[in-house]
Amino acid sequence: MAKAGYRAIVDAKRPLEGERQVPRSEGADFDLMTIGGGSAAFAAAIKAAELGARVAIVEEGTIGGTCVNIGCVPSKTLIKAAEICYHAAYPNFEGMAACPPPSDWQRVVSQKDELVAALREEKYVKVLAAYPNITLLRGRAQLTGGRGMRVNGQAYTPGKILVATGSRPAAPSIRGLAEAGYLDSTEALSLPALPQTLIVIGGGAIGLELGQLFARFGVRVTLVETLPHIAAAEEPEISEALAKYLTAERMIVLTGAKIERVERSGDEHRVHLEREGAKRTLAAEQLLITTGRRANTEGFGLQGAGVTLGPRGEVQVDSHLRTENPDIFAAGDCIGEPMFVYVAAYAGQLAAENALTGAGKVYDLSALPRVTFTDPQLASVGLTEAQARTEGLAIETAMLPLEHVPRAQAARNTKGLIKLIQERGNGRLLGAHVLAAEAGEVIQEATLAIRFKLTTKDIIGTYHPYLTMVEGLKLCALSFTKDVKQLSCCAG
C-alpha cells in the first residue's frame, strides 16, 4: 500500500488534464513563491506543481508548520494516550480490574516526538522529493515591494507570492503575567515532568483539550474562563454538559472569572481573580495560557509591499484570497480565524490556483465542521440556534440525549447529546451539534447534508447501520416528529 500511495504522489507531479495550465511568468525566477513551509504552503505548492508551475517554498524554521510539529499531531496523540489511561483506570464495564495509569511520562512524550518526526519526514520532506518543480529555500523571506522578495540576501522576482506564515500562541494582557512566566500550548506538550497542579487560563478548544489531558494523567487542574461558558462558540446545552463531565473527572471549572493579576511566589504561580462578586486566589505549580493564537506577520515587509493587516496582525484578503497587492495572495492561519489545518490546506490550494490561473474561485466556509477533541468530543457544523434566529430564519430544534442512542448504550458511555436545527416548513438542515465519544466522525454526515442543502427527512431516509454513533443523527432527526423512546430498534 505504501508504494502505491507514493506512486500516486509521483504521478501527480505531471500537469492535470482538463485544468487550466499556468502561463510562464516571463523573467521570473519562479511562477510562485510561498513564505512559509506549513500545510497551506505545501498544499499551494503541490497544486501549483500539478498545474505545471515552478514553485519555491521559503522556510526559515522546521518544515511542516504548526499542525504536524507542535499542534494537531502531538496534542491528539497525547490526548488519546490520556483517554486510554483514564478509561483503563475507570472502566465502565463491571467485572474488569482497573489498570494503574502509566508511570513513564517521559516515554509518552518521546513516543509523541517519534510520531511527529515520522510524519514530518513522510508528509513533507519526502513529498518534496516527489515534485522536481518544487524548490525548498532555507531562510527568512523579506518582501521588497511589488513582486520582489529577498531570501538570505538573494533577490527574487516570482510571478506571484503566497503568504503562508502561520500563527503562534497569543497571551492576554494580564498584569504580572510576563514577569511570572507561563506555559503555552507548545511547551505544555513537551514538559519534562508532569506537574502536580496546573491552572489553565482559557476555556476554548485548546484549553479544554489540554486541561482534560493533564487531569487524566493525574494532575489537579483548574480551568479559568472569563466568559459565562466554556466552549463559548457552541450551543449552551453542549457547553454546560461538557462542563459537568469535566467536573466529574475532578477538574475545577471556573467560568465568568475576571482575572486581576498573576504573580510568581517561589515554586507557585498565583492567579488573583474575582468571580461572582468574591475575590479568590488560585495557586499551582504550572500556569498554562490557552487564549488563542495570533498571526505570524511581523518582520516580512508585508505592509511595505502593499499588504494590509487587521487588528490582530492578520493578513487582509478578499474572497479570492488576494491581498491589496494583486500579485500577493495569503492562506492559512496568517489570515485569521478559523485556524484549522484542513482550512489552511484548502485555502492554499485555492489561492495557488487563483494566483496562477485567474480562476476566481471563492473562499467558502459556509459548511465548515469543527471538532474539539475532548472526551466526549464536541463537533458542530452550520448555524447555532442563536445565529439562525439572528438571521431571521424560522426554525425548529430537536435535542437527543445519548442515552437514547443504542451505540452509546452498548458502549456503556451515554455522555453527550445531539442537537439539530432545521428550517421550519421545508425541513432543511441548518445546524448540527454533537457531544459524543465519536462526534468528530458523526459530524461529517451533517456537513454533507448542510453543504448540499438536504433536509432532516433526507437523513431519516438514509440507511444508518445499527449500533453506530451516526445513527444518533437519524434518531435526533426523527425526534422532530416522533418520540424515539416509543420506537423499536432501527425503526423509522
Q: Give the CATH fold of the 370-480 domain.
A: Enolase-like; domain 1 (3.30.390)
At 435 the three-state DSSP class reads strand
pLDDT of residue 16: 44
Report which of 349, 385, 386 is spatially closest to residue 364, judged by C-alpha positions: 349
The model's pTM is 0.89
Contact 134, 128 (CB under 8 A): yes
The runs of H, that is alpha helices, within 97-143 are: 105-120, 126-129
Output DSSP code: residue 124: I
* Mean of per-residue pLDDT scores for the chain: 91
pLDDT digits (tens, 9 = 90+) for 173-213: 999 999 999 999 999 999 999 999 999 999 999 999 999 99
How distant, in Å, are the alpha carbons of 258, 264, 284, 349 from that of 272?
9, 11, 12, 46
- Low-confidence residues of the chain: pLDDT under 50: 1-18, 99-100
Cα–Cα distance, 124 to 36 (Å, whole number): 13
Output DSSP code: residue 350: H
Considering the domain delimited by 2-68+109-169+294-357, tell me its CATH architecture: 3-Layer(bba) Sandwich (3.50)
pLDDT of residue 65: 84
Cα–Cα distance, 271 to 261 (Å, whole number): 6
pLDDT of residue 98: 55
As a CATH number, domain 177-290 is 3.50.50.60
At 143 the three-state DSSP class reads strand
Report the Cα 67 to chain-centroid distance in Å.
Answer: 9
Strand ranges across the sheet with 370-372: 370-372, 377-382, 429-436, 417-423, 395-401
Do the domains at 2-68+109-169+294-357 and 177-290 have one common CATH topology?
yes
Contact 281, 272 (CB under 8 A): yes
> How do the domains of the chain map onto residue ranges?
2-68+109-169+294-357, 177-290, 370-480
pLDDT digits (tens, 9 = 90+) for 37-84: 999 999 999 999 999 999 999 999 888 888 878 788 888 888 888 888
Strand ranges across the sheet with 257-265: 257-265, 268-275, 278-284
